Amino acid sequence: MLIPHRDDVELTSPLQLPQLPNEAWNGSIAYLDRDGVIIAGSENYVNTVDEVVLLPDSAKSVGDLRRAGYRICVVTNQSPINRGLWSSSNLSMIHDRMGQLLLQNDGDAHLDLILHSPYAPWEGAWARKPFPGMLEAGRQLIDVASSDPSMRELDLKFGDDWTDRPDESASVMVGDRGVDMSAATRFGVVGILCDSDTGISGVIDSILGGSH
């Protein structure tokens, strides 16, 4: 099983979730693709920290989601790693920069968890969208971390091995491509397709019902 990765640490390493601004967590997660949702994408990949550009109002949208009680789980395909174009440490720096920019623009715009798939398309990884491995891991990691940041009680399961799944009806998956929607369908969460030029800010009202 080719499983998802976290930046700089093992997948099952301890996870300290940032406090939500207003509400106790009700179990809802916003699973967000990265490029075309939070930051501007590129046909040639986002290769350096200098290429990290937030899409308009993406920080406020992430902040709005967390103010509404959602945890944020970024799920991003990053095949340049296994294509040999650059390293996982480079990706970590890119994600650090993205996190800094989000918080500079909205102090509530924390990312609770970032998962990436380093695998190339031909590897057939369960962790690579359109397969739902990153979403499966995200739910289990955040659920356990919410009560036990040490992650000692974590028993990660994927696919047919994971039978006792929680209800995802209060959660959403936002992406700009068909593979994101396929992953959402396979996982059992509502998929919301956004325009890659406007990203999450273009669909935030439909997620929150205009209540923010």
Contact assessment for residue 34 and residue 97, using Cβ atoms and an 8 Å cutoff? no
Please confirm, yes or no, whether 33 is among the known catalytic residues.
yes
> Coil, strand, or helix at residue 74?
strand
What residues contact 80, with CB distance under 8 A and at least 6 apart?
A: 45, 47, 86
Residue 182 identity: S
Sequence-ordered alpha helix ranges (H) in 121-191: 133-145, 178-187
Please confirm, yes or no, whether 148 is among the known catalytic residues.
no
The active-site residue, picked from 7, 8, 33, 155, is: 33
The active-site residue, picked from 7, 35, 64, 112, is: 35
Structure tokens at 69: 């009680």
Sequence-ordered alpha helix ranges (H) in 146-198: 178-187
Residues with a catalytic annotation lie at: 33, 35
